[in-house]
Structure 1
Amino acid sequence: MTEATEQFFASLPARAPEILRTPIGGALRIELSDGHRTEHWLVRMGPGTAEVSQDPEPADAVWYCSVDLFDRLVTGRAQALAALFRNESTYTGNVVLLLAFRRFFPPPPGTRDPRDVAREHVRQKR
């Protein structure tokens, strides 16, 4: 597993209050494979909370992903739904958990909030 992935999972509990604002609840198991071995990550999500462990317990949904793809996701170089549509990863279970979880991933490098761009444009016109 990469350092970026480890840091990503370590940051989830602290970031959950700002990201998980909707009434969501459930456990998402993420299976990260490098071809020879699989790492299990369990993320239990609730409104404003996320608990992370590496227990291979049953979950409401399971996401199967390569270590390389997940590293690209946590660094903003790939998008979760696009990867699923391209069959680069697979997902079973409650899709609402994936839709909530993907909000933890950063935007692509160089992406800017359109509101910031508009504010800068207005400042330049003055």
Structure 2
Amino acid sequence: MTGATVDFFNSIPGKAQLLLRIPMAGTLRIDLVEGHRTEHWYVTFAPGQAQVSRDEQVADAILTVPTDLFDEFVTGRSRPNAAVLRNDATVSGDIRLFLALRRFFPAAPGVRDPREVAREKVAASRQTGHQRTTNPPSTGQHSTGAGRYSGGHQPNAVDDPVTGPGTREHTG
């Protein structure tokens, strides 16, 4: 186990109020497996908070993962969901606890939250004095070529309750 893993577990309680937006409660045991050795970490979730412990306790869910793969989770080089789907890690019990833990893992290196990027663009445009331009009003026409559907009813079209409005009449 690396220092990054220990730092990750130590950071969970401080991030819980921000990351746990839905009320939930339960204990997730994380089994870090290396060869024939298993280390147990317990994360107990309560509404808006999380506590981390190494003391044995009853768990509502168990995440079993190789130690080196967990190190990749905590550094953002691998995603826990993908590892579970590949069967490189397993989850049993209350899956919601695993999904809650997922929120604490960092994004991959170099990946940014799109909301953060949008905020920066808005701030930059305000600094340069550019106003947001709007698109011209739509005419309902698409530049998809002659004879194609143009957004209105097509000739010989009917409002079919099964296939929807403006579909071609069925002849047959």
TM-score by length of structure 1 reads: 0.92
Residue 99 of structure 1 corresponds to: 99
Q: 1:120 to 1:80 in 2, by over 3 A?
A: same
Structure 2, unaligned runs of 5 or more: 131-172
Q: 1:113 to 1:49 in 2, by over 3 A?
A: same
Residue 74 of structure 2 corresponds to: 74
| Separation in 1, partners of 2:5, 2:117 | 30
CA distances 1:15-57 after superposition (whole Å, capped 9, x unpaired): 1111112111000000001113110001100111111111232
Alignment of 1:14-93 (within 5 A): 14-93=14-93
Superposition RMSD on alpha carbons, in Å?
A: 1.5
Which gives a bigger RCO, structure 1 or 2 (Cα 8 Å, sep 6+)? 1
Residue 162 of structure 2 corresponds to: none
| Separation in 2, partners of 1:115, 1:21 | 18
Q: Secondary structure at the match of 1:17?
A: helix
| Separation in 1, partners of 2:114, 2:44 | 32
Q: 1:10 to 1:99 in 2, by over 3 A?
A: same
- Which residue type is aligned with residue 88 of structure 1? D
- Which residue type is aligned with residue 114 of structure 1? P
Give the length in aligned residue pairs.
126
| Separation in 2, partners of 1:18, 1:120 | 21
Q: Percent identity?
A: 53
Residue 115 of structure 2 corresponds to: 115
- Which residue type is aligned with residue 7 of structure 1? D
